[in-house]
Structure 1
Amino acid sequence: MTNQSFAHDVVAWAKQRLDEIDAMIAQAEKSADELKESARTEADQALSRLRVSRAKLEGQLEDLRTQAEAAKSSASQAQQALEDEWVEAESAFQAFLTSTGEQTEIARNAIAARAEAQRKSWESALNDLHAQVTTAVEKAGEEFDAAIGRLSTEAEKAKAKIGQASSAGDETWQAIKTGLSEAKAVHEKTIKKIAEALSKAF
């Protein structure tokens, strides 16, 4: 996985967490008035912590975006330097061809050697790309099918547990929360595997 795709994945993960926190804050604010006085104080403290955590997460996300932009800019500058140097190399090669004057055999051999090197390079690149794509697509397909199967299973379990939540006692509620946490962990792991498999394919 490239640094750029890794940064993209982390940004996507952080945006998902921000969406979750926003939903939690909105629901907590909506429910706060219904709490008894003693519970209200604790809930307000927890809500305050949640808001602080959200602000920090958003700040860290902005830092990551800035770093990703800087890395992209640095890569663009390096690419520009390579392209500039290639212009110089091309100019030097043309000057060499010009210097051969009437000795056309020398120029012809130089051009033929260059064309052969380009052909080999392109052929090698195409063969490598074909092998990578074939392997990656096969593996991505297998991982995707397996991941979707696991995700569907966990989604059904989570749906069933959420349905039980309204009538649950304390002990059952704790078990449901644990189950939902486990389902969320499996979901995140599965989504990550799918993203990795697809990034390898492309």
Structure 2
Amino acid sequence: MGENSYPHETIAWAKQRLDELDGIISDVEKTSKGLSGSVRAEAEAALARLEASRASLRKSYDALRAEAEDLKRTAEDLQEALDAEWVEVETSFQSFLGALADQADTVRSIVAARAEAQRQAWDNSLKGLQDQAAETVDKARGELDAAIKHLSDEADKFQARIGEVKDAGDASWEAVKSGLAEAKAVHDRTINKIRGAFAKLF
């Protein structure tokens, strides 16, 4: 994962969680309205915890975005300094070529060698990024496929036990819930890896 893509991925992950939490809170609020007595009190307590979690996540998300923005500004400042120094490199190189004005073959040879070195560097960089992106996407796809298979297996077990005694049903339900949570975690990691792989290409 590139240093620049990691903060972006984390911000995207946090935003996704906040959006998901907004949906959960909305559903809990709607459902709570139809409840009464101790059940409603428990629902309201859960809602309060959810809202506190949302506030905490929002604070972390906002801090991360501000930090990423500072990092971006620092990177932009460094880029400007590098660009300014590169102007000096180009000026010096052109001065050197100017000093060889009466040696056209030498100048042609130097310019051709520089162009070849640039092309080779770009080719190497692009190939490295393509290989890394392909490897990351393939690995992430494999992890997601394995998680979906596991979830499917757990759902099949759950379906087979529906008619059994309540305890067995509860155990199966717990296995399915666990499988769903695992599949969601793998899905999230997969999406982040794929985003990271493609972020490196652009």
Gaps of 5+ in 2: none
Aligned to 2:61: 61
Residues 9 and 171 of structure 1: CA distance in aligned 2, closer, same or farther (over 3 Å): farther
Kindly provide the CA deviation profile for residues 109-167 of structure 1, in whole angstroms up to 9, marking residues without a partner as x: 35633531441342244145335524642x346435423423443554677769x99xx
Deviation at 1:81, TM superposition (A): 0.9
Paired residue secondary structure (1:35): coil
Matched, 1:126 2:123: yes
Query: Are the structure 2 counterparts of residues 181 and 155 from structure 1 closer, same or farther at C-alpha, using a change threshold of 3 Å?
Result: closer
Distance change (3 Å), C-alpha of 1:128 and 1:79: closer
Do the aligned partners of residues 157 and 4 (structure 1) sit closer, same or farther apart at CA in structure 2, a change above 3 Å counting?
farther
Question: Is the 1:25–1:51 Cα contact (8 Å) retained in structure 2?
Answer: yes
| Superposition TM-score, scaled by structure 1 size | 0.74
Percent of aligned pairs with the same amino acid:
28
What is the RMSD computed on CA atoms of the aligned residues? 3.5
Deviations 1:156-196 (A, max 9, x none): 4677769x99xx96874575245324422233224413542
Structure 1 unaligned residues grouped into runs of 5+: none
- In the alignment, the residues of structure 1 paired with residue 43 and residue 195 of structure 2 have an alpha-carbon distance, to the nearest angstrom, of 42
Aligned CA distance change for structure 1 residues 197 and 22 (closer, same or farther; 3 Å): closer
Q: In the alignment, is the contact (CA less than 8 A) between 1:140 and 1:194 conserved in 2?
A: no
TM-score, length basis structure 2: 0.74
Supply the distance in 1 between the matched residues of 2:153 and 2:26 (Cα, whole angstroms). Answer: 26
8 A contact 2:150–2:179 mirrored in 1: no
1:81 alignment partner in structure 2: 81
1:6-155 → structure 2 map (5 Å cutoff): 6-98=6-98, 100=99, 104-105=102-103, 109=106, 112-127=109-124, 129-130=126-127, 132-134=129-131, 136-137=133-134, 139-140=135-136, 142-154=138-150
Amino acid at match of 1:77: D
Counterpart-to-counterpart distance in 1, 2:137 and 2:37: 54
Tell me if the contact between 1:14 and 1:57 (Cα under 8 Å) persists in the aligned partners. Answer: yes
Asked if the contact 1:144/1:197 (under 8 Å) is kept, the reply is yes
Return the alpha-carbon distance in structure 1 between the equivalents of residues 87 and 117 of structure 2.
Answer: 22
**CA deviation map 1:20-54 (0-9, x unaligned):** 22222122212223434223223222211211110
Between stretches 173-182 and 47-56, larger displacement belongs to 173-182
Pair 1:132–1:57, CA change in 2 (3 A): closer
Q: Is the 8 A contact 2:25 2:51 kept in 1?
A: yes
Alignment CA distance shift 1:121-1:90 (3 Å)? closer
Residues paired across the two proteins, number: 195
Give the stretch that moved more between structures: 69-78 or 147-156.
147-156
Partner of 2:182: 185
Higher relative contact order (CA 8 A, sep 6+): 2
